[in-house]
Amino acid sequence: MRPETRSRLLTACQEIVGADAVISSPDELRVYECDALTTEHRAMPDLVVLPTSTAQVAALVRLSAAEGVPIVPRGAGTGLSGGAIPVDGGVLIVLTRMTRVLDVDLANRTATVEAGCINLAITRAAARRGFFYAPDPASQQASTIGGNVAENAGGPHCLKYGATTNHVLALTVVLPDGTVTRFGDRIADRPGYDLRGVFIGSEGTLGICTEVTVRLLPEPEAVRTLLVAFRSMEAASRAVSAIIAKGIVPVALEMIDQETTRALEAYANAGYPTDAEAVLLVELTGLRAEVAAEGPIVEAICREHDCLLLKAAEDEAERMLLWKGRKSAAGAFGRMTRNYYHQDAVVPRTKLAAVLTEIAEIGRQFGVRVPNVFHAGDGNIHPLLCFDARLPGEYERAMAAGDEIMRCCIRAGGTVSGEHGIGIEKREYLRLMYSEQDLAAMRRVQRVLDPAGLCNPRKIFPEEAVA
């Protein structure tokens, strides 16, 4: 960016949001170089602005459009695919000061919040009256609902409930030209094109959402949480398929491999067995009678698949401890390896066993450890590629193994992202999944809303295809 452009932008941004809401010194800007993708990926924004209203966001977008400068929206920066990295510089619009809960409407079971509101804060605002917001990404204590919308975030409990797109009813959006519009509706489906669905998961490339209306669900009457250990990943995978085939949809159906259970036990001491190759965490929720009926069926299926251990949480404290263990996986990773690359892919549930075997083989071939803790119920795997960036060649080997794993998942009929998004991380894989016609249809939608290509540029689509 030319210095005079930057200086003009700085003054204009300060006029819009106030001087204390604009960051322009290199030291402070550096905080915003990365998101939660590996630190090898970084880029400096020219300016960072922290607006507090939709009107301010709209004014910032109009200003940037007039100057021909890229804009990149950012929430808490917990994204794992590089979506918040300003690869072409420009103005980073950070929504973390827009955290208000605007409305909780229990008669219609909705909550409307500003886009910078933390995921868990929505549930906190509704919990006293017995309601919750279902999608629960691992980052839910930190990530913003706006970021969840951008990435169509999932989470362990999305097996039963569906991901972000199934729970967001309406959005206030600042389009790339600075107009403020509204997608979806609080009450009912609206006529016309469902642009709500296109916007969710569009990773900031179609505009910036500033307010989000979500569906609230009543807390289930009963919950039953089972910890089940298996001899092999294959046996556990078959049990997963058998449970779903029975017509039972647990609210969560998580699989954890032995390397991970060992690390997370050392870290969290949550009661996970460390002598089994695979552990399943199964949670059932619903009416008391429903859970009472489903529990024994799930237990019988696990026994038919020769489980080594099966125990149910006796009370809420034990249940919370089991979930603490599962949610400690990310913390435990730091003990398992100096650096890691956290992958995200989906495979058909029926191919889980075969794909897991192939991933283990790829790990051996490249000399890379690949522990895996993942949402087995919907086939959403998260191989963790371990490496030590200080040792020459380790990073490259891990990336090469990761590439093989992605290709393996696509060959199995899967997809390259279950919940982390594409960002800059996986753009090239889209060529393996989509024809040129498919990509062209999407790019045309992008261009019509963002003809100048200034809204979070160079995200999602393969590099030359964007040009």
434 touching a second copy, by CB under 8 A: yes
Q: Which is nearer to a second copy, 22 or 195 (CB)?
A: 195
Q: How many CB atoms lie within 10 A of CB 2?
A: 7
Applying CB under 8 A, the site for a second copy has a residue count of 76
Q: Which residues have C-beta within 8 Å of that of residue 261, sequence separation ≥ 6?
A: 272, 273, 274, 276, 279
Q: How far is the CB of 47 from a second copy (least distance, A)?
A: 27
Nearest residue to 421 (alpha-carbon basis) of 64, 164, 70: 164
Q: How far is the CB of 181 from a second copy (least distance, A)?
A: 5
Inter-axis angle of helices 3-17 and 54-67, to 10 degrees?
A: 160
Q: Which of 15, 28, 40, 185 binds a second copy (CB under 8 A)?
A: 185
Instruction: With H, G, I as helix, E, B as strand and everything else as coil, classify residue 222.
Output: strand
Q: Which of 194, 316, 396, 463 binds a second copy (CB under 8 A)?
A: 194
Instruction: With H, G, I as helix, E, B as strand and everything else as coil, classify residue 233.
Output: helix
449 touching a second copy, by CB under 8 A: yes
287 touching a second copy, by CB under 8 A: yes
308 touching a second copy, by CB under 8 A: no
User: What are the distances in angstroms from CA 268 to CA 225, 261, 262, 320, 333?
Assistant: 18, 10, 10, 12, 12
User: Scanning residues 54 to 93, which ones bind a second copy (CB under 8 A)?
Assistant: none
The residue whose two tokens read 């100048």 is 452
Q: Which is nearer to a second copy, 53 or 165 (CB)?
A: 165
User: Scanning residues 374 to 413, which ones bind a second copy (CB under 8 A)?
Assistant: 378-380, 413
For residue 406, give the H/E element and its range.
Answer: helix 394-411
31 touching a second copy, by CB under 8 A: no
197 touching a second copy, by CB under 8 A: yes
Q: Which is nearer to a second copy, 50 or 284 (CB)?
A: 284
Q: Which of 3, 315, 390, 435 binds a second copy (CB under 8 A)?
A: 435
202 touching a second copy, by CB under 8 A: yes
User: Scanning residues 94 to 153, which ones bind a second copy (CB under 8 A)?
Assistant: 107-108, 152
Tokens of 275: 């002598």
175 touching a second copy, by CB under 8 A: yes
Biggest CA–CA distance in the chain, Å, is 71
Q: Are 422 and 203 in contact (CB under 8 A)?
A: yes
Q: Which is nearer to a second copy, 49 or 170 (CB)?
A: 170
d(CA 391, CA 399): 14
Using CB under 8 A, which of the segments 8-16, 20-28, 342-350, 352-360 binds a second copy?
342-350
The residue whose two tokens read 């992605």 is 406
448 touching a second copy, by CB under 8 A: yes
